[in-house]
Amino acid sequence: MTYNSKDKLNAFHLTGSVGVSTLLGLLTGSWVVFLVMSILLVGTSLLTGEIRIPDHRPRR
């Protein structure tokens, strides 16, 4: 399976968001901080368009 640049950017943003959440969770020693930060960072990336959901609608 080949990956295009959009897939690579999506993976980069998702990995970065979870990575930052992991560091904050480890520093505070809290699973709650990890979960909340993961949801916030991935959610804001989705809302701002940094992570793009695949479009499965048929093309015209």
User: Can you give the residue range of the structural domain that contains 36?
Assistant: 26-51
C-alpha distance from residue 28 to each of 1, 20, 34, 48 (Å): 39, 12, 9, 27
| In a domain? residue 8 | no
User: What integer pLDDT is reported at residue 55 of this predicted model?
Assistant: 79
57 domain residue, yes or no: no
Give the tens place of pLDDT for each residue, 30-44.
Answer: 999 999 999 999 999
Structure token pair of residue 55: 């479009």
Residue 40 in any domain: the answer is yes
Q: Tell me, yes or no, whether 15 lies in a domain.
A: no
Q: Residue 24: pLDDT above 90?
A: yes
Predicted TM-score (pTM) of the model is 0.82
Residue 43 resides in a domain: yes
Report yes or no on 36 lying in a domain.
yes
Q: How many domains does the chain have?
A: 1
Say how far apart CA 41 and CA 33 lie, in whole Å. 12
In a domain, 56, yes or no: no
